[in-house]
Amino acid sequence: MNKIQKCVQDMVIEQGSAEPKTICENMGIITLSLELPKRVNGFTINRKGRWFIVLNNMLNDDEKRFTTAHELGHITLHKCTNSISLSCNTDFIVSKYEREADMFAAYLLLTAEYDSCIECDTVTVKQISQLAHIPEEKVDQLFF
Ligand SMILES: [Zn+2]
């Protein structure tokens, strides 16, 4: 099990849920849907100790769910970094953070849909994509 899987597992046990929305509610994270530039799916801000996840209101429900999970990944894995500046940069360290947040989201959604899938070696790109509602090309980049 890698570091990110461990983080997901700890969070699911602690929060008693793998559903991003429920985890946000339990952790007191406010999620908002706002009009954002097309290429921005969402971002995370911290104001006076409270976390806000801002989602692009053009996203469909699956995309919002994935983006919420992705932002939860940033909050959990990258607490000390500023994700607003992150989402505007494209250098190596940023893509590493983005990849980690995507990975976190994928594991979390897989856990939400099908507990044993993370341990399963024979799962296909298509199965993961359908289970976690993640585009196939993203699954391919993350896991294979
Ligand atoms: Zn991100």
**Residue 99: exposed, middle, or buried by beta-carbon count in 10 A (0-12, 13-18, 19+)?**
middle
Q: pLDDT tens digits for 47-100?
A: 888 999 999 999 999 899 999 999 999 999 887 555 454 554 445 566 788 888
Nearest to 2 by CA among 114, 75, 77: 77
Q: Which residue segment(s) compose the domain that 101 sits in?
A: 3-143
- Kindly give the distance from the C-alpha atom of residue 116 to the centroid of ligand 1, in angstroms, as a whole number: 26
Count CB-CB contacts under 10 A for residue 8: 28
Strand partners, 32: 54
- Kindly give the distance from the C-alpha atom of residue 33 to the centroid of ligand 1, in angstroms, as a whole number: 16
Sheet holding 42-47, edge to edge: 30-34, 50-56, 42-47
CATH number of the domain within which 74 lies: 1.10.10.2910
Alpha helix (H) residue ranges in 20-88: 20-27, 61-77, 83-88
Task: Report the number of distinct structural domains present in the chain.
Answer: 1
- Kindly give the distance from the C-alpha atom of residue 43 to the centroid of ligand 1, in angstroms, as a whole number: 7
Conformational region of residue 28, where left means phi above 0, alpha means psi within -120 to 50, and beta covers everything else: left
pTM of the model: 0.79
Q: pLDDT tens digits for 9-47?
A: 999 999 999 999 999 999 999 999 999 998 888 988 888
- Kindly give the distance from the C-alpha atom of residue 83 to the centroid of ligand 1, in angstroms, as a whole number: 7
- Kindly give the distance from the C-alpha atom of residue 121 to the centroid of ligand 1, in angstroms, as a whole number: 27
- Kindly give the distance from the C-alpha atom of residue 13 to the centroid of ligand 1, in angstroms, as a whole number: 24
CA distances from 19 to 30, 136, 140 (A): 15, 21, 23
